[in-house]
Amino acid sequence: MRLFCLALLTLFSLLSSAPVYAQGKQQDKLNVVVSFSILGDLVRSVGGDQVNVTTLVGPGGDAHVYTPTPADAKRVSEAKLVVINGLGFEGWLPRLIKASGGKPSVITASTGIKPRKLADDGHGHGDADPHAWQSVANVRAYVLNIRDALIAADASGVSTYLTNADAYLAELDKLDREVREAVAKLPAERRKVISTHDAFGYFAQAYGIAFIAPQGVSTESEASARDIAAIIRQIKAQKIPAVFLENVADPRLMRRIASETGAAIGGTLYSDSLTDEKGDAPTYIGMVRHNIKALASALTN
Ligand SMILES: [Zn+2]
């Protein structure tokens, strides 16, 4: 009987201590805030169980035109590390960090990549194109920057961060090869499409599919009637086979362009945001795979 009581007591103390243990673990994790969903996936892939990742602009959101909330300020104030894309993508972020009153380290994931310069639009906006993640080779640099930032913020996780980063870099190399092989199979004269906003410049540079977009690099500005008319002429003259919708843009403009030109709608490309887990692009790697599959099927014939 005494033995039984002892066993019961041991069991009870094990059970009651379990939640406390889990809570302690949770608090040990490194709090990282990221600006948008693609960075969230990259930081989770490298950080694994060592990090708590909070994404400000979640799946389906548009980081170009985001308005931070008071809850975001609270999240930033609790973060040790904030990871941003940079290249002018998150214009709203410096003010948010200041307003939060926190003192996180701010890491720019795109540091070290070769920025794609934009032509001056006549209003002094001859800046860099922020969508560097659309080239898989650039995301290698993102992952190395994220790995080093996590190590600097949390030395206790160094072996996790090194191991996860290495595994993810190998996945990226495989992905890059997949995209190149898919493009190589397409007839050269069909490697051109229309997308809504100019988000695929790095993809075009890296893989040799031309993208033409009525909207500029930010979704903030609307396409003018003149831009749309010019694109319609270009689709007809160059026999551009397909028009793509984007998850962060209004589909109506593209549907109109498709109906006026006879170009096919090739589906949706994911440019600046992932989907939730049930969608077509829940991870960065899933997003690139979805996009190349959609492009290949629209441009094959
Ligand atoms: Zn964009």
**pLDDT, tens digit, for every residue of 66-86?**
999 999 999 999 999 999 999
CA–CA separation, 56 vs 50, rounded Å? 19
64 CA → ligand 1 middle, Å: 6
Shared-domain flag, residues 149 and 234: no
Neighbours of ion ligand 1 (CB under 5 A): 199, 272
234 and 207: one domain? yes
Q: How far is the CA of 141 from the centre of ligand 1 (A)?
A: 19
The verdict on residue 11 lying in a domain is no
Helix (H, G, I), strand (E, B) or coil at 57: strand
In a domain, 77, yes or no: yes
Distance 75 CA to ligand 1 centre (A): 24
Residue 71 counted as domain residue: yes
For residue 235, report the distance from its CA to the centre of ligand 1, in Å: 22
Tokens 């829940």 identify what position? 282
**Which CATH number belongs to the domain containing residue 123 in this structure?**
3.40.50.1980
Cα 205 to averaged position of ligand 1 atoms, centre (Å): 16
Please state, in angstroms and rounded to a whole number, the distance separating the CA atoms of residues 87 and 155. Answer: 28
Name the residue range of residue 134's domain. Answer: 25-176
- Indicate whether 169 and 206 sit together in one domain: no
151 contacts 161 by C-beta, under 8 angstroms: yes
Q: How far is the CA of 197 from the centre of ligand 1 (A)?
A: 7
Element (H, E) at 33: strand 30-36
Q: What is the pLDDT along the chain (301 residues), one digit of tens a residue?
A: 455 544 544 444 444 444 444 444 456 899 999 999 999 999 999 999 999 999 999 999 999 999 999 999 999 999 999 999 999 999 999 999 999 999 999 999 999 999 998 876 555 555 899 999 999 999 999 999 999 999 999 999 999 999 999 999 999 999 999 999 999 999 999 999 999 888 999 999 999 999 998 888 888 878 888 888 988 999 999 999 999 998 877 889 889 999 999 999 999 999 999 999 999 999 999 999 999 999 999 999 6
Q: Can you tell me the distance from the alpha carbon of 175 to that of 134, in angstroms, rounded to the nearest whole number? A: 12
Question: CA angle 129-65-277, nearest 5°?
Answer: 90
CA-wise closest residue to 194 among 231, 219, 152: 231
257 and 282 assigned to the same domain: yes
Domain-embedded: residue 12:
no
How far does the centroid of ligand 1 lie from the alpha carbon of residue 223, in Å? Answer: 14
Task: State in Å: Cα 152 to ligand 1 middle.
Answer: 30
Q: What is the pLDDT of residue 249?
A: 78
Ligand 1 centre from 19 Cα, in Å? 43
pLDDT at 53: 98
Residue that finishes a domain, picked among 176, 193, 227: 176
Same domain membership, residue 51 and residue 148? yes
